[in-house]
Amino acid sequence: MSRYDESMTVKITVSLPDHLVEEARAAVADGRARSVSAYVASAMAARTPGKPLLELLEEWYAESGPPSEEDYAWARAALGLEDD
């Protein structure tokens, strides 16, 4: 079950096909979701792309600096690539 923080929400109204509502309610009844809202939020989060890779790398470089030669050597070994 993914995290869903109800304190960070905006209440909206949506219309859904009957079978999707039944699935959401079943997930709550089975304990797979805390609420229908949590189920829908989790499903939407799974389909929402995260930050682009370049943006994540830029943040990482800003915090930690670029990878060291040791990091590159580890990555080459982990990937089974020969050292140049």
Q: Could you tell me if 35 and 54 lie in one domain?
A: no
57: in domain:
yes
Distance CA 78, CA 82 (A): 10
Q: What is the pLDDT of residue 33?
A: 95
Q: What is the pLDDT of residue 53?
A: 85
Q: What is the pLDDT of residue 4?
A: 55
Q: Using alpha carbons, list the distances in angstroms from residue 78 to 27, 28, 73, 83.
A: 40, 42, 9, 11
pLDDT in tens, 71-81: 999 999 999 99
1: in domain:
no
42: in domain:
yes
What's the predicted TM-score (pTM) here?
0.53
* Structure-model confidence comparison of residues 16 and 50, the more confident one: 16
Structural domains in the chain (count)? 2
Q: What is the mean pLDDT of residues 31-55?
A: 90
